Structure 1
Amino acid sequence: MPEDSRHFPAAAMQLLHEQSLLQINLPKRFRVIDECIPVYETLCKIGQCNLSVGRIYEGHLNAIKLIKDHGSESQQEYFFQEARIGKLFSVWNTEMSSEALTAQLSHSKLQLNGAKTFCSGGLQIDYAIITAEVDEDKQMLIFPLKEYPKLIEDWSLWNPMGMKNSVSCRIDFSGIEISSDLKLGELNAYQQQPWFSGGAMRFAAVQLGGAEALMHSTIDHLNAQNKSSDPYQQQRMGTMAILVESGKFWLQKAQEIDDHQQDYSSAEIVNFADMMRSAILNISEEILQLTERSIGVQGFMENHPMEQVYRDLKVYLKQPGPDLALKNVGAYTFDHYKK
């Protein structure tokens, strides 16, 4: 796959559809296969293959969950059938304050003004859940992108050193009218806890896959260089193996919470998500450092398997609010500490 900010990984997404992986969090009656596929393990494996694909895939699962949680019966029936046949979904919330997306009701239409940034997948996505200001509130909309061929991908804000193939461009929705029937959920539903913060468990799972891919690149490189017997390399590899394995315990717990969320309070889920994203951030950053020290300058050559994964993970780890997440874990711990 060409590494290009404008190159959407269409072949990879088609493969995910053919393997029924775009359907794994749909209600059972909409899935092609009955097998229950674990979401977080799948996110990790896809991240291990390609972090940009993992980012787009995570956004797709996020959109499906939002429709499950907030969609009307008719919306669920229609959009889940669309997902079943391979249509791609995403969630675009990020914007610049100077051009925040707004929606004004006019008869049965919503008039949009403003733009979204970091629109992962760009116009290759079929349906994007976007948030728009209505007075001082936020309203989710399910936007059918293919029905608006005049929309333009703006690449001026997306020239990153990594994660290029997530094609996270800017899209301006100014002047567009859409049906008010495409409103998803109540006002401010997007920010409802626990899953506004709990969604961090998904991107953390993808990040762990990238960290594991770096470990594998290091193993391959050191084997090729006949350095696997070097005691210092073995020490670094032992540390990496422990870090990756510890990350997989976080995935297992995340899956348990997702499968049995009725057994956990909203505060417990939010706290776990903040813990998990903080832990996997630390795991990933340490593996980046260990990989760099193990391989050295050779790993930063453009033809080296480590080089793109290293850059992609560096960029993907820059998720918003890491300090706040860790601070919230500390506050929760003080509040719930019992002797």
Structure 2
Amino acid sequence: MFSSHFNDALSALAKTAAQRDRQGGHAAKEKALLRDAGLLRLAIPAKHGGDERSWPDIYRHVRALANVDSALAHVLAFHQLQVATVLIYGTSQQQCTWLRRTVDESGWWGNALNPRDARLQATPSPSQLSQDGYVLNGPKGFCSGTRGSHYLTVSARVNNHVQPVLGLLETAAPGISVKDDWNPMGQRQTDSGSVQFTQVKLPLSAVMRSEHAETTAFHTLRNCLAQLVLVNLFVGVAQGARNQARDYAIAHVKPWQGSGIENATDDPYLLRRMGEMQAQISGAALMADHAASLLQNAWQQGESLTAAGRAEVAVAVFEAKVMAHRCTLFATQEMFDVVGSRGTHADLGFDRFWRNVRTHTLHDPLDYKLQTLGRWAVHGEEPSAHNYN
């Protein structure tokens, strides 16, 4: 299913994941492994030199990477999300220019499009007939993958308009400063710090969507793509926690005194815990795959996608998000009852699984996902395309 280069990268990353989690910082060498494995081309259409993989296949790559390193899985997934952003909002010329460059330059995409952070302001030029476009000033937070990136997708507010302008920029453009200020308890190598924009020129040729443009159902599919990134990260981390707990139990865990068994892996309580993890993770993975399949079908419809079709995808994504959220918190906590007290040794780094997902599960409240699903179940009310990221 995966290329030998990707499998080699997984093996190399697994050996250093715990140590790098403690260190934090920018994983330049590790990102180079992913780049050299050809993973930056996954979502890029073949006509632009890419692999044009399906979204279910792309998410399988993200999930496999999250098994061993959820921070780099996040960076890789957000690269694909920015490519998708260009495909959703960009003109044919913008897609050809920026995506061909991505392939030819093996360039990483960073995300400065966080819609919840409205501090970045775009000032239109006096004449929209000119090529000046906008001037950007202000900060943007939670900018995943920006450090070490080559290109950025960016959103900025224009006066009092609700809809932001969306644009494309080189990370090294004058006036852009990527800050090294990401210091969370988990996901420590996602390069998700802030970016400061000072008198940055966004020419009209690099504007994907103006503040006046209409929003279609296909445009809002980006929200579903972003949510499925988190779903597959959660499932991947849960799988990684389960695998680590199993391997450690087989190699190191001793039977409890008075249990009457010779091998700890025959302990009925340990087996029950592993069985519960297995059931929850398998269920969440199947729901993630189902949502990805629906998303792929919607993606192929393009601008002909209807609001009802998009709602079907959103409901499946929300359902998968709820189950993946719950199963990953359960697995990353329950693994410690499997590995026992010796499994808490700091060098093992088993705590990183819980810290990583707890950092991510706070991305948006599960209560609002459940409320939306409740409105769908009771009233048939379609999920709003504008109330989640």
For normalisation by structure 1, the TM-score amounts to 0.89
Alignment-derived partner of residue 318 in structure 1: 362
Q: Which residue of 1 aligns with 2:385?
A: none
Residue deviations 1:158-186 (CA, integer Å, cap 9, x gap): 32111111121111113322323211134
The CA distance in 2 between the partners of 1:169 and 1:245, in whole Å, is 33
Q: Distance in 1 between matches of 2:209 and 2:154?
A: 12
CA contact (8 A) 1:122 1:153 kept: no
**1:145 maps to which of 171, 196, 207:** 171
1:195 aligns with 222
1:232/1:32 CA distance change after superposition, 3 Å: same
Cα displacement (A) at 1:305: 4.1
Residue-pair matches, total: 334
* Structure 1 position 282, deviation (Å): 0.9
What one-letter code is carried by the residue in structure 1 that aligns with 2:170? P
Identity %: 16
- Residue in structure 2 matching 1:220, options 218, 224, 247: 247
Give the number of the structure whose alpha-carbon radius of gyration is greater: 2
Q: Which amino acid aligns with 1:321?
A: P
Tell me if the contact between 2:44 and 2:52 (Cα under 8 Å) persists in the aligned partners: no
Q: Which of residues 57, 70, 75 in structure 2 aligns to 1:38?
A: 57
**Once the two structures are superposed, what CA deviation does each residue of 1:48-69 show, in whole Å capped at 9, x if it has no partner?**
1211101111111111111111
Q: Identify unmatched segments of 5+ residues in structure 1.
A: none
What is the deviation of 1:84?
1.5
Q: What is the Cα deviation at residue 258 of structure 1?
A: 2.6
Provide closer, same or farther for how the CA distance between residues 96 and 279 of structure 1 changes in structure 2, counting only shifts above 3 A: closer
1:93 aligns with 2:113: yes
Q: 1:58 and 1:19, CA in 2 relative to 1: closer, same or farther beyond 3 A?
A: same
Deviations along 1:223-271, whole A, 9 cap, x unmatched? 1225211111011011111122112212321231132114871111111
- How much does 1:312 deviate? 1.5
Alignment of 1:155-304 (within 5 A): 155=181, 158-187=182-211, 189=215, 192-224=219-251, 225-226=253-254, 227-261=264-298, 262=301, 265-304=309-348
By how many angstroms is 1:209 displaced? 0.5
Matched-pair contact (CA < 8 Å) for 2:66–2:233: yes
Whether 2:90 is the aligned partner of 1:53: answer no
Question: In structure 2, what is the Cα distance between the partners aligned to 1:9 and 1:22?
Answer: 16
Question: In the alignment, is residue 123 of structure 1 matched against residue 141 of structure 2?
Answer: no
Aligned-partner Cα distance in 1 for 2:149–2:245 = 34
Deviations 1:124-174 (A, max 9, x none): 11111111001213111112112337624141xx32111111121111113
Q: SS where residue 120 of structure 1 aligns?
A: coil
Q: Which moved more, 1:170-179 or 1:132-141?
A: 170-179
Q: What value does the CA root-mean-square deviation take over the aligned residues? A: 2.6
Q: Which has the higher contact order (CA 8 A, sep 6+)?
A: 1
| Greater mean alpha carbon deviation, residues 177-186 or residues 268-277 | 177-186
Q: Which residue of 2 aligns with 1:69?
A: 88
Aligned to 1:7: 25
Q: Unaligned regions of 5+ residues in structure 2, if any?
A: 1-15, 255-263, 382-389
Q: Residues 28 and 143 from structure 1, CA distance in 2 versus in 1: closer, same or farther, beyond 3 angstroms?
A: same
Report if aligned partners of 1:132, 1:138 keep a CA contact under 8 Å in 2: yes
Q: CA deviation at 1:193?
A: 2.5
Equivalent residues of 2:178, 2:196 under 8 A apart: yes
Q: Does 1:308 align with 2:352?
A: yes
* TM-score calculated relative to the size of structure 2: 0.78
Q: Is the 8 A contact 2:176 2:198 kept in 1?
A: no
Cα distance change of structure 1 residues 294 and 332 upon mapping to structure 2, 3 Å threshold = same
Shift of 1:96: 7.9
Shift of 1:87: 0.7
